[in-house]
Chains A and B, each alone.
Chain A
């Protein structure tokens, strides 16, 4: 792990490097695994006036024209900050945003103590499922996504590594709003859920049917669940048809979705 020293802040420790941001983890909460690195930046752990914090720095893409690059990165940075505050307003727990620095292109959040849902589920896979805890987590996930979608906010990268369980309160905290956007379309909401479903299937199939429990909680908390879940079912049917028939399906709203989102879930 490399240690980056910054003149202004105390030394930052590299957590993990992703496509979006490199995240640094000092503790063993986050494993420095090169696998799920997607995103475009670096994440460090640091200290913000006495409190432990996480600093997410977005890379600048060297292949872009510099003026375009800085504009785009800034736009994405601001969008992430805005989406996080919106998510909070809707009642979804996210880390507290401490600072947004447009010059260094960094976001500073509170450090949430606790494992990622991914690690919890992997642990269940190895040592057996604790039903009650699994239920509680699934319920919180469905509840949070329901609130987001009712507020027309799409997370964009719903995977178990972007959900943390805060130790102590056992509350679910959503992170990484770097790919999030606003949309009223039920297709977009359904894709959001589909990405999560694929992620669960690919990594946590040994935990049993978590998605059902998540969708049950989603139905309870979201007021517009029926159209979204209809689209989800439609899309799943389309995709299974297209994969089984090995041919392009025309009404490819589903297949037209950016593959990066699908790929991120299939790690």
Chain B
């Protein structure tokens, strides 16, 4: 669990593996009954924290201008992590599914108590954020973000993803 400062707001990230209740989490999130509100990201698409921070920056910017494309701040984070403008597809791909076991949990401006509640909510094992790099699914990332061989020669995977997150709305 780690807290990051973005433009005066804080973002708390926690990485969980062997998650067994992803179906319930997904259902309660879609019903709007999830307390406290969090974003569930498919952690196998995440090789590093930086792209998530870039997506969070974008999300906070949209919120400050009251121009969110999705319904909530946290769903906007999941949408912004995707390289595609298609909302439903992005939420499906970058968010969790019924069978997800490897999940990154994110919450904006949270307190320690709320994070403890979230800990209890998720039936899984929390691991260190550093393990993200080793557990990322490279093939899936290459496919989702359409990353080419030449590009990897000049940049890291995290940078390639960050570029796409930033320029998605410019395309």
Chain A contacts to B: CB under 8 angstroms: 8-9, 48-51, 77-78, 81-82, 84-85, 88-93, 96-103, 108, 110, 147, 171
Contacts and interface: CB of A to CB of B under 8 A. Distances in A.
Contact of B166 (A8, A100, A103, A171): A100
B162 A49 contact: no
Given A48-B57, A82-B171, A91-B151, 6 more contacts: A49-B4, A49-B6, A91-B154, A92-B154, A99-B57, A110-B159
Contacts, number: 79
A91 B150 contact: yes
A102 B167 CA distance: 11
B155 interface: yes
Q: How large is the interface on B (under 10, 10 to 19, 20 to 34, 35 or more residues)?
A: 20 to 34
A102 B62 CA distance: 11
B7 to A, nearest CB: 6
12 contacts: A48-B57, A49-B54, A49-B57, A78-B171, A81-B166, A81-B171, A85-B167, A89-B151, A92-B154, A93-B154, A97-B167, A100-B167
A87 B123 CA distance: 44
A67 to B, nearest CB: 19
Interface in B40-66: 50, 53-54, 56-58, 61, 64-65
A99 B58 contact: yes
Nearest to B64: A8
A76 to B, nearest CB: 11
B169 interface: yes
A68 to B, nearest CB: 19
Given A88-B151, A89-B151, A98 B162 contact: yes
Contacts of B170: 77-78, 81-82, 100
